[in-house]
Structure 1
Amino acid sequence: MYRSRSRLSYKVVGSLILVFLLIFATFGMVISITFENTKRVSEKQKADLLLQTVEKSLQMTLYLKFYDQIAEKVSPAVSVPDVIELSVRDQNGKLLYRYSNPKSQSIENAITVSHQIKEPAFGQSMGSITLYYSDLAYDETRQSMYNVFYGVGMSIALIFFFAVWWVRNLLSPLGQIAQKVRDYRPGDHMVLEEDGSEEIEQIVTSFNAMQETTYRYLRQMEAMNISLEGAVQEKTLELENQYYSDRLTGLPNRFRLQEKLLQGEITALAIVNVDDFKEINDFFGIEIGDEILIQIGAWLNALSGSCYRLGSDEFVLTFSGNLSLGELEHRLVTLIKLLEEKTFTVKEESLTIRVTIGVALGTENILTRADIALHHAKENKKQIAFYNQEERVEEQYRSNLTMASDVRRALFEHRIMCHYQPIVDFKTGEINKYETLVRMIDDVGNMVPPMEFLPIAKQTKLYPQITLEVLYQACTLFATRSEEFSINLSDSDIRNTHTVSEIIRTITETGTAPRIVFEILESEGIESYAEVTQFITKVKALGAKIAIDDFGTGYSNFENILKLSVDYIKIDGSLIREISSNPRHHIIVETIIDFARKIGAKTIAEFVSDEEIYNTLKKLDVDYSQGYFTGKPMSL
C-alpha cells in the first residue's frame, strides 16, 4: 500500500519549531493571563482610590442633606478623564446626582466600583456612590502585548522557512544517497560520492562495507541454490518413487496404476487375491506374512512383467494389445496352476498358496469391474471370474454401495429404531417377553425392512454398530419395565471383542442383565463354539439367558447345542408354517420339543400366523408362541 512520506529536513526543523512554539505559546499564555489579572486589578484600585477621595466629603453632605453641594464634592473625581459616569443615591435608591462623561465610552465593559456612605455617628447607610471607570488603558496595553506576540510569531515563521531551506541543503547528500540505494540491486557495484562531512563519509563507508558483505553472501547463496536444486531434484525423485511404489514389495502401487489407466493403454486387468491370507498372518505371524507377500509380488512381476500391489493381499496384473478372452483366460489359468505348484519358503517355513482372480476387459472402469468380478468369484467359490455386463453385477454392486451409504447415514442421523414383538405364554395367555426387531427409516420417512439392509450391513463394518444401537435402545426401554426381552446376536458379534465388552457394560449399567435373552442365530452357522461358550459363560454369570434362534434348519447338530447350555430353543418358522399340513414338519417339531425338555430348555414357536397353527402347537405343549396371530411387532 502507498504511504505518504515527508522529508527528513521538514521533520527535523518542524520538530524544533514545534517545540519552540509550544514553549512560546505556554509562556505567552502565562504572561497574558498574569498581565490581564494584574492590569485589571490595578485599574480597579485607581477607581476605588477616586471614590475614597470624595467619600468623606459626601458623608457630611448627605448627613446634613445638602444635596445641592454634591456636584462640588465629587468634582475631584469627575475631573479625571477616565471616569465615564458617577452617580449618588440615597438609602432608598433615589438618584441624587449623576455625572456622565460625554467623550468617554459606554459603561457596558467599564470597571465598576460602588461604596456605601454611612452616618458618622452610628454607621448606618445613608446612600451609595457608584463609579464607572474606563478600561481603555487596559485594552491599549493588552493590544500592545498582542502585537509583540504577533511579531514574534512572524519571526518564528520566517526562521522556520529559512531553517527548512538550510537543513535541506545540509541533507541533500543523503537524498542523493537514498536515490542511488533505491535503484540498487544485489550484485550491482554502486559508487557513492562524499561531500566532505564526517557523517556522510561514515554512511558511505558503511554502505560500501554492506555492498561487499551482500556480494559475498550472494555468491554463497548462488552456490547453495545450485546445491539445493540438485538435492531437491534427488528428493523429488525419491518422494515420487515413494508415492508411486509400495513400501513393502517395491512394486508400483494403486496411484501408479490409476495413472496408467488414465493413459488408456491397458486393455485388460486382473486382480489377484491371496486366499486365506489372514489365517497365514494369524498362524505364522505378520513378519512371515509380509515376506510371503514380497515373494508373491516378485514372482508375479517376473512372470507377467506388469504387476502392481493394490493393497493388503491383492495384486493387479495388466495387459495391453488385442488379447482375446480365450487367450487371456489361458494365461491366467496357467498362472494359477504354476502358483499352486510353487512352494514359498520363509525362515524354514514352507507354504503353498491359492489365489482367486477377478478379470475385466476393455478400457472403461476396468479396475472397478475387475473388483466386482473378484467378489463374484469369491461368492460363487470360483478361482477365476470374468466381468460380464449382461449379468448386471455392476448394477447390484452399485445398489449395495448405495444401501451401505444409506445405512451409514441412518446410524448417524438416529434413524435406526426398534420394534418389539410379543411372546405369549401358551399356558396363561400372558405376554411376558418381547423380541427386539431392528428397523430403518429412510430419508423420506418410509420403513425399510431388515432383510433389505442387514445383509449389506453384514458385509461392512456397520453391522456391529447396528447391534450396539439395538442393544442401547432396548436396554434403555426395558430398564423401567418388568418383562424379559431378547436381542439377536450373530456369530460375528460374539467374536467381536469390542461388541462383547459393550454388551457386558450396557446390561450391567442399565440393570437389565437378569431379564435379557441373547438369541444366537443358529441358521447362520457358528464358526467357533469355544468363543460362543466363553461368551455364554460371561453373560450367564450376570444373570442373562441364552436362546438358539431358527433351530431346526441350521448347520449345527444336537450335540453342539448341548455344549451351549441354552435356556430357550426357538423353532424355525419354516417348520411352524406347515406344521398342520406337513407330517414331516410335525415330527421334527415334536423331536425338538422332546429334546428341549430333556436338556431343561423352554421352546418358542416362531411365525405363528393363525389359530390352527396356534392350537396345534398348544397340543404339542410348546411353551411360548410368537407370530402375527398373537402379536405384531410394534413400538413400545
Structure 2
Amino acid sequence: MNEVLENLEKYGKNMKILYVENNEDVRDSTSLILQRTFKNVIEGFDGVDGLDKYKLNSDTIDLVVTDISMPKMNGIEMISEIKKINPNQQVLVVSAYGESEYFTQTIKLGIDGYLLKPTILEQFLEALAISVEKIRLKKENRGYQNEIERKNSELKSLNDLLETKVENRTRELEEKLYIDDLTGLKSRFRLDIDIVDVEFPVLILIDIDDFHSINELYGTNVGDEVLKNFSSLLKDYTQNKCYEVYRISGDQFVLFESSEFLNHEKILDDINELFKQVLITKFPLKEKNEFVELSITVGIAIENEKILGKADMALSYAKKNNIKFSTYHLNIDASKEIINTAKWFKILNRGLKDDLFIACLQPIVDREQKTIKHEALMRLVSEEDSIDSHTSPEIFLPIAIQTKQYSAISYLVIKKAFKLLENRMEDVSINLAYQDIKNRELIHFLKKILSDKEIAKRIIFEIVESEDIGDFEIVEDFIKTFKGLGVRIAIDDFGTGYSNFTHIMKLKPDYIKIDGSLIKNIDTDKDSFELVKAIVQFSKELNIKTIAEYVHNKEVFDIVFNLGVDEFQGYHFGKPSNNYFTLPFNNYSSSPLP
C-alpha cells in the first residue's frame, strides 16, 4: 500500500485530473483524496458541466474520473463526447451501477478502469496508480518518439545539406572539367559524353603543325595567346554550321557533328573551307608585335565506336604520309597490325607455357617518403623472343585481350602477387581489369584466399574504370563483396578517358590513383596541374586518399606534394623489381598463404 501511495505522489503531482460527480458529499470526500496526489483537480458537478470543463482543458487533462448516473448527461454520454475530442484520453469510472450493460458500454468506449461504489480506499488508490502509470508510460513513450523524430529531422537536415554540398561541388568540378580554361571551348571530357550513342557522328580531329616550335621560340604565354586566337577562328568558322568545337589537348581540337544523315561531299567542302580559312589568317603575337601563320593536319572519322581513336589513327596516317587530311578506313596499317598480333600471340603462348610472366614490386611512399606498400606489376621475360627483361604489359596486354589470352595471363600473375605476401609484411596493390572481375575462376580464388582477414586487410585492388565496362553493376557488386572482406579499393588511371565522378560517389573507393599522363608533365602542363588540383580537392571532400604515379623527379614530387596528394609512386622512389629482398620493407611474415 505504501508503495502505491509513493508512486501516486511521485508521478501524480505533475498531472491534472477532471473529477465528475453529482453527489456533493461523495465529491467532497473523494476530491480530498485526489488533491493529496494530483497537482490540479478540476471538479465537475454533472455530465454537462464535466464536458464543458473538459473542453476548456482538453490539452492539459491527464485523467478523467467520473460517475455514471448523473442528471442532464450521464457519465457514459459524457465519456463518449470526450473520446470524440481525444480518443486516447485516460478514463476511470467509479459508479454504484454494476450491471453488465454499463460494463459493456464503457469497455466499448475504451475506459481504463471500473470501480463499484462504495469503493475501498486501497482499491481506489490502486486503480488510480494503474491509470497514472499508464499515463506516465504514454508520456515517456511520446517523449521518446518526439526525441527520435527530432533526431531524425536533424539527421535528415544534415544529410540533405551534405548531399547538396557534394552535388554543388561535383557540379562545379564537372563544369571545370567540361570547359577548357584557356580557350573557353568544350573539353575532352565533354566530348567523351557527347559522342555516346550518336547515330551518325562525324568527328574532325585538328592538329596544329609544329606548334611546339612556337612555344620554344616565343614562350608558352605567346603560345597560349595563339591557341586562344585559333579557338576564335574555329568558333567563327562553325558559327553557321552544325559542328561543336572542343579542345582536347595542347594543340589538338575537334569539330563534332551529329547528323541525321551523312553527306560526304559536305564534309569534304567543310574541310577545304577550314584549310583556306587557316591559310589566310595571320595570328598576332601581341607581346612581339608580330604575326604567325599556322598550318593544320586533319584526321576524320565517321564511326559509331571509338570514333576519337579512329580519327587519331587517320591523323597519324596523314602526318606520316605528309598529306593534309585522311579519313579513317580499315586498311590503315591493317597488315602491320595483323603481323604484329600473330607475332605476339606466339610469344604470349610461350610465356604461359614456360612460366615467363612475373610479378614485380614497385614501392609506394607516403608524404614522409617512407615506403608503406608496393604495387604488384605484371612483366614478361623472354630472351628467346628478344624481349627485354621486365617488358611492360602496355606493350602486350591489348593484344592479349584481342587474342583471348588475357584472363590466363592475369590469373597467373595475380596468384604470384599473393605468393609474395608470404615473405613480406607491407600491403600490396593488385591491378584488376573488368575482364578479371568477370572471371569466375579468379573470383573464386580471391574469395577463398581473402577469407583470411589478415591477408585481406593487406590487399588493395586497383580497378581501371574504362569504356570496356559493359555492366557497371558487376563492378559495384564486386567492390561491395570484397570491401566486406576487408580489402581496400583504388580507382586506377583516374583523370583521363572514361573517368566518371558520379561512379566515384557510388563506389566510395579508399583511393583515387591519378593517371600518370597527368602527373608526368604536371611541371610543364598547366591543364594537367589544374585537373590534378581539382581531383585532389574533390577526393578530400569525399575523404578519399589520392596517389600520384609516374613521379619521376623531385620537381614533379614537390608539385603534387604541395597540391595535397597523400601517396606517391614512380621512378623517383624506385623502379619495379623482382629482386624482392632488396626492396625496402619493415620485417618478414612467416605465415604461409592458404
Q: TM-score, normalised by structure 1?
A: 0.38
> Which structure has the larger Rg?
1
Q: TM-score, normalised by structure 2?
A: 0.41
**As a proportion of its length, which structure holds more helix?**
1
